[in-house]
Amino acid sequence: MYNLSPVQKKILLVLLGGVALGMSGSPRQYFKTLRAIEKDWKKINQHSFNRSVGSLSREKLVEKKILSNGSMKLILTKEGKRQAKLWSLINRSINFKKPKLWDKKWRIVIFDIPEKDRTFRDILRSHLRELNFKKLQHSVFVSPYPFEKVILDLVELYSAKKYVRIITATKIDNEKKIKKYFPEIS
């Protein structure tokens, strides 16, 4: 994962939002996406924007095209789209609202990711910690919250479906000990 500044992340997300805008199926979704893009775009300082675009271009995350009328067109590269999706995913998970009532189900993430994919393994562990999963074993994490979609999106983004399993369970043998890690559900 690239070490991007907040402005660079915002540029990637806004450009990704433009892609989402083009693919929106309903007028309601179109305008909702458009409002979000406009709101984020207004927050970007022009000097920071220019510096960030240059950096993103050097990193090959965006491609700059100068049009005949003198305006500039930014296009996300394949890697730029991947990074934007990753930041979007992380942002969604950070802003995830935990349900008020626990549904009495545990989400268990188990993975066996080869050494050659160590980067993804580290990103997955970091993401699970960020989502406040409890580590049960080296490659086994548990949470009482329905984070399945966020985790599956991350796994999909890295084409790692064959290495990661998500189990929804109603009972774990050491549940009392695990519940101490999640005092809000006890």
Where does 24-77 have alpha helices with state H?
27-42, 46-58
* 168 shares a domain with 132: yes
Please say if the pLDDT value at position 156 is more than 90.
Answer: no
Residue 58 sits in a domain whose CATH number is 1.10.10
pLDDT band at 124 (very low <50, low <70, confident <90, very high): confident
Tell whether the model's pLDDT for residue 25 goes beyond 60: no
pLDDT of residue 33: 61
Between 12 and 167, name the one with better pLDDT.
167
CA distances from 28 to 14, 18, 21, 34, 126 (A): 18, 15, 11, 10, 35
Q: Domain containing 130 — which CATH number? A: 3.30.70.240
Examine residue 15 and state whether it is found in any structural domain, yes or no. yes
Domain assignment of residue 134, given as a range: 106-185
The vertex-46 CA angle with 41 and 52, nearest 5°, equals 85
pLDDT score at 21? 46
Q: pTM higher than 0.95, yes or no?
A: no
101 located within any domain: no
Q: Are strands 140-143 and 106-111 parallel, antiparallel or unpaired?
A: antiparallel
| Residue 84, in any domain of the structure | yes
**Total number of domains in the chain:** 2
- pLDDT tens across 82-111, in order? 777 776 666 655 555 677 889 999 999 999
Residue 179 pLDDT = 93
Q: What is the mean pLDDT of the chain?
A: 80
Is pLDDT at 71 greater than 90 in this prediction? Answer: no
Residue 15 vs residues 64, 106, 138: alpha-carbon distances, Å = 12, 36, 37
